[in-house]
Amino acid sequence: MTLKQKLYTVWAFYIVSIKRLFRDRLALFFTFLFPLIFLFVFGALSHNSSVSLNVAIINRSNSAAAKQFVQSANSGKVLKVNKEVTDFETANLKMSRGEIDATIELPADFGQLKDGLPTGQAIVHYTQNNEQAATTLASILQAQFQGMNAQLVKSPTPFTVKTEKTNTHSLSAFDYTFTGLLGFAILGAGIFGPMNYFPELKKMGILRRLHTTPLRVWQYFLSAMLSNATTGLMSIALMLIVAVTVFKLRVVGNYIDLTLFVALGIIVILGIGLALGGWAKNERQAAPLGNIIVFPMMFLSGTFFPRFLMPEWLQSVTTFMPLTPVIDGARMILAEGKGLFDLGPQLGIMFVWLIIVYAIAFRVFRWE
């Protein structure tokens, strides 16, 4: 068989794999829709992470200043005022249940004139376990009162603040969320796919019949690499479109660099799936070993939360996990504008794992 014929065989199995995916509704769901569900859930959480406090306001004053304060609090975005609370009994009950963070009391003398100017002191009531929320609320109210005071009393400001923008890009919570979910999609497509359908093909005797043909393992693996890279890139492209249009993700880097890097990441992770699926005779053998490998990467490689939140010793260890350089490199391209030549450490770790996982995959692969 000539090289051209061998490559044609690879192409034929590549087309078969793509067609099998689009004919399998369950596979379509887990390849395209399942990552999108996680994207919408975690994306919504990331965009709702701004500071806001649930409070109640008990206004005992009839002054114009008190009415102005209540109106301002109800129309603001930082304070979410519970309008059902009108007395301390209800307020204390809701604070004890955690339904509100604190209660703002405006005494009867709030806003009364003194020396021709309205004065007053708001009181923040809180429970023992909500001291941090009360401190934050006091700072918010102090800033709001300073604005009201400035309208009433003009005083010099000898010290001021000026802001200057640097030339570096900062990372938002959603930058970490999206690249982590991107890694989750790669993990699912690269490992769970082969780990599930290889044992099924063995059970049906399909791989045994293929073994009687001139097909070689490298041809079968190469077709799997190409098909998984194609479908994985399609899934990630869909996630990227949703992230940009719905959650306003800012893409700083180059799309070509991102495509090449993600394709390499898919191929690296796929090697683990090929090793597991090629070795296992059935699903009972593949599932436990797959979970032992997948779950540490899922929770320690920055999939669901940033690695910088981990202890330093754990960050050092998880740097060398197969999925970590994929997530880190994708984030550096997407959010920091890095190019492929800037990702030397990440690419180095990925190429080492590429050699290791495929050496194991070729070694343990069984046709039946």
Q: 33-85, pLDDT tens digit by residue?
A: 888 887 888 777 666 555 577 899 999 888 888 888 888 888 877 788 888 88
| Residues 214, 136 within the same domain | no
Lowest mean pLDDT among 19-23, 35-39, 155-159, 213-217: 155-159
Q: Which domain holds residue 67?
A: 53-148
154 part of a folded domain: no
Lowest mean pLDDT among 141-145, 159-163, 195-199, 222-226: 159-163
Q: What is the pLDDT of residue 274?
A: 87
| Residues 30, 140 within the same domain | no
Burial class of residue 275, CB neighbours in 10 A (0-12, 13-18, 19+): buried
158 part of a folded domain: no
Q: Does the structure show a pLDDT above 80 at 168?
A: no
Q: Are 269 and 187 in contact (CB under 8 A)?
A: yes
Q: Does the structure show a pLDDT above 70 at 349?
A: yes
| Residues 34, 57 within the same domain | no
- Tokens 């003009």 belong to residue: 154
What's the structural domain count of the chain?
2
Q: What percentage of the chain has pLDDT greater than the value 70?
A: 90
Q: Closest by alpha carbon to 188, among 278, 297, 307?
A: 297
22 part of a folded domain: yes
| Residues 338, 209 within the same domain | yes
| Residues 36, 105 within the same domain | no
Q: What is the pLDDT of residue 170?
A: 55
Q: Does the structure show a pLDDT above 60 at 162?
A: no
164 part of a folded domain: no
| Residues 43, 60 within the same domain | no
| Residues 252, 345 within the same domain | yes
| Residues 31, 60 within the same domain | no
Confidence grade of residue 350 (pLDDT, cut at 50, 70, 90): very high
Confidence grade of residue 160 (pLDDT, cut at 50, 70, 90): very low
Q: Closest by alpha carbon to 24, among 229, 227, 286?
A: 227
d(CA 97, CA 297) in angstroms, rounded, equals: 37
Residue 144: give its domain's CATH number: 3.40.1710.10
Q: What is the pLDDT of residue 260?
A: 93
Q: What is the pLDDT of residue 69?
A: 83
| Residues 113, 200 within the same domain | no
Q: What is the pLDDT of residue 348?
A: 95
The predicted-structure confidence for 316-329, as pLDDT tens digits, reads as follows 889 999 999 999 99
- Tokens 């059902």 belong to residue: 84
Residue type, 267: I
Q: Are 101 and 119 in contact (CB under 8 A)?
A: no
333 part of a folded domain: yes
- Of 133, 148, 163, the domain-final residue: 148
- Of 148, 183, 210, the domain-final residue: 148
The predicted-structure confidence for 329-343, as pLDDT tens digits, reads as follows 998 898 888 889 899
Q: Does the structure show a pLDDT above 50 at 166?
A: no
Report CA torsion sign: 302, 306, 311, 313: positive
Q: Are 248 and 167 in contact (CB under 8 A)?
A: no
Query: What is the average pLDDT across 352-362?
Result: 93
214 part of a folded domain: yes
- Of 114, 148, 182, the domain-final residue: 148
Does pTM surpass 0.85? no
332 part of a folded domain: yes
| Residues 36, 140 within the same domain | no
| Residues 192, 269 within the same domain | yes
Residues 6+ apart with CB under 8 A from 213: none
Q: Does the structure show a pLDDT above 60 at 164?
A: no
160 part of a folded domain: no
| Residues 82, 198 within the same domain | no
